[in-house]
Amino acid sequence: MIAASHNSSQFDTWQSCMRAAITDPRELLQLLDVDMKFLPAARLSAARFGLRVPRGFLARIRRGDIDDPVLRQILPLGAELDDRPQFVADAVGDLAAARVPGLIQKYRGRALLIASGSCAVHCRYCFRREFPYGEHTASRADWRAALAQLAGDSSIHEVILSGGDPLSLGDAKLAALTRGLAGISHIKRLRIHTRQPVVLPERVDAAFCGWLRQTQLQKVMVLHINHAQEIGPELVAACAALLEAGVVLLNQSVLLAGVNDDVDALHALSEALMAMRVLPYYLSLLDRVRGSGHFEVSEERAKLLVGTLMGRVPGYLVPRLVREIPGQASKTPVAVSLMT
Ligand SMILES: *Cc1c(COP(=O)(O)O)cnc(C)c1O
Ligand code: SF4
């Protein structure tokens, strides 16, 4: 581990931390003492989907280790260039499900807003790495089209902010949304799917928590943490602040080869989540998006891992193993049996 490269974080705004993110593969390899022989491939893969990682997050990565489970999630590797026939651009059928730009409803009772196209970090396995965000964010024009659709459909009780990362938006944009939602009586819950508190804990500042606290809707935040090593003291503090603001905290992970595809890693993650009062929600099998084939874990192995975890921890610390199948009415559960 290395010390956070910016120890003045209480003076930096989250926006300046976001702007200062590392985008040059050479700089990343240098800062982490990783062999420069990985640079040419990193550059080629970054030309397809750019490298992006906040400087503070480097503190969560071991130096000089190309196999580090956190580094593997953010470093462009040559393996991304191996095209595999079943790995495609829109792996989850999102484009077909858009009702107005940025509003996607695939499941009953809840609708998802693509709130922002940008993220503080670029996760190499992300199914949105090929998503054409330009035309598809709901926050343009102050959410008007999306709010009109939501107001006209009383079957929707929950609005999910997703992206990209919805917390790439500033607090004023978020507040405009909640003001709009407050006028729609059938909307009860606001859910936020975000990785920002993990990779850029500065985002969870006093102004943001103030917005959450005064929002009348029930609030759920689904974090995205794949490995216990991603959890540092800043994230622990951010979770405490979110809980204090009245947010229910859950976590979803993606099962990733070379990152968290072993029982000890999953066990440690569940325990570390619980230690900060975050419950595991989903463990997703990888969506087959172009360039992510090297992260795939077979369904058979996934069942073995989760079945073994079941024998080790309380039921509430076992995430639900799911896969996303276009056209289904929810995420599709993968049946797991207890392994002893
Ligand atoms: C994953 C997802 C949801 C949320 O599903 P839950 O099972 O409620 O967590 C909602 N809408 C879309 C389009 C999704 O992909
Ligand atoms: S933060 Fe989420 S949406 Fe953004 S690249 Fe990572 S996994 Fe994808």
Tell me: cis bond preceding 50? Omega within 30 of 0 counts: no
- In 10 A of CB 250, how many CB atoms? 18
Q: Which ligand does the CA of 286 lie closest to?
A: 2
Answer yes or no: are the C-beta atoms of 156 and 111 closer than 8 Å. yes
Contacts 24+ apart (CB under 8 A), 316-320: 316/279, 317/270, 317/271, 317/273, 317/274, 317/279, 317/280, 318/270, 318/280, 319/251, 319/252, 319/253, 319/270, 319/280, 319/281, 319/282, 319/283, 320/281, 320/282, 320/283
The protein residue whose alpha carbon is closest to atom 8 in ligand 2 is 126
How many angstroms does the Cα of residue 70 sit away from the middle of ligand 2?
14
pLDDT above 70 (res 262) = yes
58 Cβ below 6 A of ligand 2? no
DSSP SS3 for 135: helix
Contact predicate 308/113, CB 8 Å: no
Answer yes or no: is pLDDT of 15 > 60. yes
Mean pLDDT of 110-115: 94
Quote the pLDDT of residue 236: 98
Is residue 293 in contact with ligand 2, taking CB distance under 6 Å?
no
Among the atoms of ligand 2, which is closest to the Cα of residue 199? Answer: 1
Question: Could you identify the atom of ligand 2 that is nearest to the CA of residue 163?
Answer: 3
Closest CA to 160 of 128, 130, 208, 194: 194
Looking from the CA of residue 254, the nearest atom of ligand 2 is 7
Q: Is 203 in the pocket of ligand 2 (CB under 6 A)?
A: no
In tens, the pLDDT along 41-78 reads 999 999 999 999 999 999 999 999 999 999 999 999 99
pLDDT per position as a tens digit, 281-314: 999 999 999 999 999 999 999 999 999 999 999 9
Give 89 Cα–ligand 2 centroid separation in angstroms: 15
Query: What is the share, in percent, of the chain residues with pLDDT greater than 70?
Result: 93
Cα of 187 vs centre of ligand 1, distance in Å, is 16
How high is the pLDDT of residue 85?
85
Distance CA 277, CA 274 (A): 5
Name which of 11, 43, 53 is nearest 200 in CA terms: 53
Parallel, antiparallel or unpaired: strands 218-224 and 189-194: parallel
Q: Which phi and psi (to 5°) does residue 136 adopt?
A: -120, 30
Instruction: For residue 200, give the nearest of 26, 303, 48, 60 by alpha carbon.
Output: 60
